[in-house]
Structure 1
Amino acid sequence: MESPLALYRRYRPETFAEVIGQDHVTEPLRAALANNRVNHAYLFSGPRGCGKTTSARILARALNCEQAPIADPCGECESCRDLARGGPGSIDVIEIDAASHGGVDDARDLREKAFFAPVKSRYKVYIIDEAHMVTTQGFNALLKLVEEPPPHLRFIFATTEPDKVLATIRSRTHHYPFRLIPPRLLSSYLSELCEKERVRIDPAALPLVVRAGGGSARDTLSVLDQLLGGAGPEGVTYDLATGLLGYTPDTLLDDVVDAFAAGDGAAVFGVVDKVIETGQDPRRFTEDLLRRLRDLVIVAAVPDAPATGLIDVSEDQGERLVAQAARFGSAELSRAADIAATGLTEMRGATAPRLLLELLCARILLPGADHATDGVLARLDRLEKRLTIAGGAPTPTVAAPSQPAQDRPVPPPARPAAPDPAASRPEPEPRPEPRPEPASAVEPVEAPAPDPAPEPVAAPVAAPVAAPEPEPVAEAPDAAPAPSGGLTLVDVRRLWPDIVDATKSKRRLAWMHLTQNCQVVAVDGQVLTLGFSNVGARDSFVSAGCDDVLHRAAVDVVGADWKIETIVDPGAQAEGTPTVTRAAVPERQPEPEPAPEPAPEPAPAAPSSDASAAAREAIQQTRSPDEKPDAGPDWASVDAEAHPDDLDAEHQGISSAELLQRELGAQMIEEIRHQ
């Protein structure tokens, strides 16, 4: 038993009505045939496999049909039967392959034979395939014949590159450009052919066959023929199509896209490793990833694209695309697609495609490293996604009437700002009544005695006294309450570095506490619990108002209106930044100094700002002169960006000598100025 012919030969169209996807060509040709207004020469151009040669044969059958003029050949006369699918052919219809017969000698031979009348048909038709391969001398030899042919002669040139056809020849013909067949039309055509062949095909495999064919009917039917030949009892399955055609399975693409959306680098590089381990081509994977990102960009812009057929995917795949597109922003998707397209171009001819694929994935995962417009827009998309995770936009609040709302606590109105060191200091002005501060900040600080191993602390800690509660913040009457349980502990720890970075621009002291002394312990609804390594760090964080700074940073970054609670957790370490360890302070030997005069009686309790400045002076004295800056907080930078309440001697209009005498009982003996 002989094997059947290939699909593209068995189902070659025999009339213009059977040609699919070329209505812009077939309809005018049918009208010209019906009206007997056929030209002596035609030029059919277009991609390979789109029906140029087939249409030329149909045109020749219609011209020589006994019932002509007729739009479609009858299929019953002798000429139609000879030129039918599987017919013996006609001596009056000559097909020439110009790729091997394009020289001047072949053109002269054709010119000599063309003047003989047809044997038994009305016209002698020459179909010259690959006409762009005819040499310039060959076209020149045919020019006079094509320009003024005998009445019985018709020419049909078919080519994929019409620009290479001699311009004088092209000007003598009627040019009909053929196009690639649309994917949806080709999918429905393949389904009909599978029904005729009585072979079941998975709907998810159809888009892969169409994609492999590239819009060419002949190439698509060749791919389908291969799959039909290898199909088992269950027909053409999706797994069979992906395996034979070499495409990336949708499961791998779903995994890598979900990992990109979550910012999970481990999952992304795990997929890359799986691609390499299974022997797939990194270039093909990158191409498939780019196609998936293209589909997501379209779905993000047109959510009903899968349903309307704007993208050719199965129903369940369309639902997954809609869900995946919702996890990205449009700018983030566009940036990822641009990076994938650039990476695919760089992979052509590369000796290490896996390395380029991994670098491509790393660039997609890190929009923060991209300072271009696309990177900024991608970061904005991520911030909007975090706000969505937190339950929508942050809840609007209004401040209490006693204090206007602004980014930082308002200093006393009569307190002057810190003057520039290079400028002259203004005259001191009377200070208003200080605000109440915790007991640990208002007690007078005495000079610490040398200790064999003093503990580095932020400030002396006194007996715990309840700190004054911050002024309540009233919610706006029309503000909707923030949803509870929007973020889990895993989400908060993932977003924690961004929140900590936001506090740095608001108050550097809060940022230093968060990076050195605490970690996130729990998130329960709208309550965020922080664990501090010691009591002193916790009290310093609360008394300095750093919890309010953290609250505002959380609202700005993730839109979470948390209540900040603090606990003492000896095992706490900072999250999001490397842990800063302090070196042990060596024992400091006092230097011999002249005996000072008797110290005066201790002054009354100073305001909190005086105590803070004195505490810093005391801590500086306990440190070794050659101690490195990274052994503790950088007080110079803290003072430069300190909270308005952290005032020093210059803010109060007193000299350093007076502050030392009042707070530490010291007396300056002599001050030498070098000229």
Structure 2
Amino acid sequence: MDAPLALYRRYRPETFAEVIGQDHVTDPLRHALANNRVNHAYLFSGPRGCGKTTSARILARALNCEQAPISDPCGECQSCRDLARGGPGSIDVIEIDAASHGGVDDARDLRERAFFAPVSSRYKVYIIDEAHMVSPQGFNALLKLVEEPPPHLKFIFATTEPDKVIGTIRSRTHHYPFRLVPPKLLSDYMLQLCRSEDVGLEPTALPLVVRAGGGSVRDSLSVLDQLLAGSGPDGITYDLAVQLLGYTPDSLLDEAVEAFAADDAATVFGVVDKVIESGQDPRRFAEDLLQRFRDLVILKAVPGAAETGLIDTPADRTAVLQRQVAGFEPTELTRAADLVSAALTEFRGATAPRLMLELMCARILVPGADNSVEGFHARLDRLERRLSGAAPAPEITSAPASAPTSAPVTPQPAADPEPARTEPAVAEAPAPQPSAPAAAEPQPAAPTPEPVAAAPEPEPEPAAPTPEPAAEPAPATPGQLTTADVRRMWPQVLDRVQQLRRFTWVMLSQNAQVASLDGSTLTLALVNTGARDSFVKSGSDQIVQQALSDVMAVQWRLEAIVDPSAAPTGSAPSAPAASPQAAATQESRVPESVREALRQGPVPVERVNPDAGVDPDDPVVDDGSQDAEALLAEHLGAEIIDETTHG
């Protein structure tokens, strides 16, 4: 049994209606055929594999069809059957490869044969492929024949380089430029062919086929034919396409981009090592990384780019890109894309491609060494992101009004937030202090009692929960998990934390991110000391450990550190800051219900006894109501007003 023909031969169009992506050419040709206004010479130009020679054959079939003038060949007459797909051909339609027949002698021989009348057709048609390979002398030998041909003669020149066709020949022809086929139209065509071949095609593999084809229908069909030949019972899968076409897997690109967002140099250079050790082409990795940065730049500028078709990604990949783009500022993305684009030119002829790839990553990671305008913008974006994690504006504006007596004392402006929270216990004016717990950060009001009253009591408590994970003797269960793996799974961990305890979920989603994983110790970075202490004293570390066990099946010890540059990695949206008057008015309506919800976490309402206090099993109660009020002020911009005072 003979092997089947290649896809681009089996599915070669036989009418102009079957030619895809070239409506600007096929429509005028069909009108000219129907109106019997066909020129004696045509020049078809454009990229390879876009349908130039195929359209020339269709034009020859339509010209010699027995029902002519007609826009599309009938397919039933002898001439149409001879020139059909897989047909024997016609003696009156001559195809010449100019790459091997482009000299003066070949042009002289063609000129002598051209004056003979066609054998059985209406016209004798010469299709000269790769016409740019004809020498200038050969074109000059054909010039008089092309300018004044006999009535039965038609010329169709096809070329990828029309500028190499001498001007005197071009001026005698009707020039039709072909174009590359748009990706969306080519994707639909590929799916249609896969259904015809009864072969499955994963949606994530289709963009790789279209991208490998580069807009050329013939090249795309050749790539698809290769994948069809190597496919198994599952059809064309994403893994098969990545391996055969040499593209970088999405998981490796995700790991690199998320590491760039977190300034994790260890993970970035680990990805480079994986690229080299797996035998992938460093230049191809840089090209794929540039494509990913391109998608992120567009998604950052146009949040609905996936719905409008500006980026061609499946729905599940769009959610991943939206999560990744949240970790970048626009200037950082454009700067990273520019650096990768510049590095691609340096890869040409490079003797040490790994070194070039590592230098490219180092430039992206260190904007401080970049003195360009983009580098300054990137550093400014980082400073603004760090400042956004400082004390909110409403507390700063309300601080002078809430504590006028402590304003003159300013010897230590960088007072720690935790000593400031214990200050209302020793302040001289007890009435107004509880109404503004979060305003204590801009109040370096009483640094004198700081070493005596504030430091000894709260400091021993953050270290207390750390011995609890000591009963976890088997941290080897994760199986060589990395920091990048934890960052990738962090949204699922936060979802589980939300189910266990809402208080911990609010704190983590708005104030924390994964810093590092060292063996069996997971380090979380929180934006300030107050958030770190609240996380430890409220027992939230136990909630996170339970969520990690449920989602990732690991038993890790948690450490909480303070990092002002820690950007939230959760999915919870941050509430916009409100003015002090509006926040006070809103919080005065339901202050007790909000406080009680924050204290209870996931505990049902019926377990709370108003007379006996909050359930002692809830770890938030150990810290009193002050943490809840500080949380409201810090994250919602609210000012807590005592109901007994405002009747």
Specify whether residues 68 and 396 from structure 1 end up closer, same or farther in structure 2 by C-alpha distance, changes over 3 A only: farther
- Supply the distance in 1 between the matched residues of 2:101 and 2:162 (Cα, whole angstroms): 18
Deviation of the 1:468 alpha carbon: 12
- Supply the distance in 2 between the matched residues of 1:55 and 1:252 (Cα, whole angstroms): 43
Q: Residue type matched to 1:487 in 2?
A: N
Deviation of the 1:383 alpha carbon: 3.4
CA deviation map 1:374-418 (0-9, x unaligned): 012112333344456669777542552669999x889xxxxxxxx
Counting only pairs closer than 5 Å after superposition, residues 179-578 of structure 1 correspond to structure 2 as 179-386=179-386, 395-398=395-398, 400=400, 466=449, 486-488=510-512, 523-525=532-534
Q: Which structure has the highest helix share of the two?
A: 2
Specify whether residues 77 and 253 from structure 1 end up closer, same or farther in structure 2 by C-alpha distance, changes over 3 A only: same
Q: Is the 8 A contact 2:102 2:134 kept in 1?
A: yes
CA deviation map 1:28-72 (0-9, x unaligned): 100111111111110000000000000000000000101111110
2:65 pairs with 1:65: yes
- Supply the distance in 2 between the matched residues of 1:7 and 1:489 (Cα, whole angstroms): 51
Q: Is the 8 A contact 2:512 2:524 kept in 1?
A: no
- Supply the distance in 2 between the matched residues of 1:94 and 1:144 (Cα, whole angstroms): 19
Q: Residue type matched to 2:511 in 1?
A: L
- Supply the distance in 2 between the matched residues of 1:285 and 1:114 (Cα, whole angstroms): 54
Specify whether residues 115 and 270 from structure 1 end up closer, same or farther in structure 2 by C-alpha distance, changes over 3 A only: same
Q: Residue type matched to 1:275 in 2?
A: V
Specify every segment of 5 or more residues in structure 1 that has no aligned partner in the other structure, as ranges: 411-463, 470-482, 500-519, 529-552, 562-675
SS at match of 2:532: strand
Deviation of the 1:370 alpha carbon: 1.3
2:108 pairs with 1:108: yes
SS at match of 2:272: helix
Partner of residue 509, structure 1:
none
CA deviation map 1:230-257 (0-9, x unaligned): 1111111100000011110000000000
Specify whether residues 527 and 236 from structure 1 end up closer, same or farther in structure 2 by C-alpha distance, changes over 3 A only: closer
- Supply the distance in 1 between the matched residues of 2:45 and 2:123 (Cα, whole angstroms): 23
Counting only pairs closer than 5 Å after superposition, residues 62-211 of structure 1 correspond to structure 2 as 62-211=62-211
Deviation of the 1:525 alpha carbon: 4.4
- Supply the distance in 2 between the matched residues of 1:221 and 1:390 (Cα, whole angstroms): 56
- Supply the distance in 1 between the matched residues of 2:25 and 2:393 (Cα, whole angstroms): 56
2:41 pairs with 1:32: no
Specify whether residues 467 and 36 from structure 1 end up closer, same or farther in structure 2 by C-alpha distance, changes over 3 A only: closer
Q: Is the 8 A contact 1:335 1:374 kept in 2?
A: yes
- Supply the distance in 1 between the matched residues of 2:394 and 2:363 (Cα, whole angstroms): 30
- Supply the distance in 1 between the matched residues of 2:132 and 2:406 (Cα, whole angstroms): 81
Specify whether residues 466 and 250 from structure 1 end up closer, same or farther in structure 2 by C-alpha distance, changes over 3 A only: closer
Q: Is the 8 A contact 2:21 2:185 kept in 1?
A: yes
Partner of residue 435, structure 1:
none
- Supply the distance in 2 between the matched residues of 1:523 and 1:25 (Cα, whole angstroms): 67
- Supply the distance in 1 between the matched residues of 2:397 and 2:219 (Cα, whole angstroms): 64
Q: Residue type matched to 2:274 in 1?
A: K
C-alpha RMSD over aligned residues: 3.4
- Supply the distance in 2 between the matched residues of 1:404 and 1:173 (Cα, whole angstroms): 91
Q: Is the 8 A contact 1:398 1:405 kept in 2?
A: no
Deviation of the 1:281 alpha carbon: 0.8
Q: Residue type matched to 1:221 in 2?
A: L
Partner of residue 41, structure 1:
41
Percent identical: 71
Deviation of the 1:229 alpha carbon: 0.5
Specify whether residues 96 and 392 from structure 1 end up closer, same or farther in structure 2 by C-alpha distance, changes over 3 A only: farther
- Supply the distance in 2 between the matched residues of 1:392 and 1:118 (Cα, whole angstroms): 88
SS at match of 1:31: helix
- Supply the distance in 2 between the matched residues of 1:488 and 1:325 (Cα, whole angstroms): 18
SS at match of 2:175: strand
- Supply the distance in 2 between the matched residues of 1:5 and 1:398 (Cα, whole angstroms): 79
SS at match of 2:400: coil
- Supply the distance in 1 between the matched residues of 2:393 and 2:86 (Cα, whole angstroms): 70
CA deviation map 1:72-94 (0-9, x unaligned): 00000110000000000000100
- Supply the distance in 2 between the matched residues of 1:312 and 1:251 (Cα, whole angstroms): 17
Q: Residue type matched to 1:284 in 2?
A: R
Deviation of the 1:371 alpha carbon: 2.1
CA deviation map 1:76-130 (0-9, x unaligned): 0110000000000000100001111000111111111111111111111000001
Specify every segment of 5 or more residues in structure 2 that has no aligned partner in the other structure, as ranges: 413-446, 453-505, 517-522, 538-562, 569-573, 578-647
Specify whether residues 79 and 335 from structure 1 end up closer, same or farther in structure 2 by C-alpha distance, changes over 3 A only: same
Deviation of the 1:526 alpha carbon: 10
Q: Residue type matched to 2:294 in 1?
A: R
Q: Residue type matched to 1:351 in 2?
A: T
SS at match of 2:511: coil
- Supply the distance in 2 between the matched residues of 1:134 and 1:76 (Cα, whole angstroms): 36
How many pairs does the alignment contain? 451
CA deviation map 1:214-235 (0-9, x unaligned): 1110010001001000111111
- Supply the distance in 2 between the matched residues of 1:29 and 1:239 (Cα, whole angstroms): 43
- Supply the distance in 2 between the matched residues of 1:491 and 1:393 (Cα, whole angstroms): 27
- Supply the distance in 2 between the matched residues of 1:247 and 1:527 (Cα, whole angstroms): 45
Q: Residue type matched to 1:523 in 2?
A: R
- Supply the distance in 2 between the matched residues of 1:347 and 1:392 (Cα, whole angstroms): 47
Deviation of the 1:489 alpha carbon: 9.1
Q: Residue type matched to 2:292 in 1?
A: R
Q: Is the 8 A contact 1:328 1:381 kept in 2?
A: no
SS at match of 2:211: helix
- Supply the distance in 1 between the matched residues of 2:448 and 2:399 (Cα, whole angstroms): 27
Partner of residue 428, structure 1:
none
Larger radius of gyration: 1
SS at match of 1:523: helix
Q: TM-score, normalised by structure 1?
A: 0.62
- Supply the distance in 2 between the matched residues of 1:349 and 1:393 (Cα, whole angstroms): 54
Deviation of the 1:524 alpha carbon: 2.2
Specify whether residues 466 and 4 from structure 1 end up closer, same or farther in structure 2 by C-alpha distance, changes over 3 A only: closer
- Supply the distance in 2 between the matched residues of 1:292 and 1:191 (Cα, whole angstroms): 24
SS at match of 1:155: strand
Q: Is the 8 A contact 1:489 1:522 kept in 2?
A: no
CA deviation map 1:297-348 (0-9, x unaligned): 1111111222222222222112211221122111110000000011111011
Specify whether residues 398 and 521 from structure 1 end up closer, same or farther in structure 2 by C-alpha distance, changes over 3 A only: closer
Counting only pairs closer than 5 Å after superposition, residues 597-608 of structure 1 correspond to structure 2 as none
CA deviation map 1:604-636 (0-9, x unaligned): xxxxxxxxxxxxxxxxxxxxxxxxxxxxxxxxx
Specify whether residues 389 and 285 from structure 1 end up closer, same or farther in structure 2 by C-alpha distance, changes over 3 A only: farther
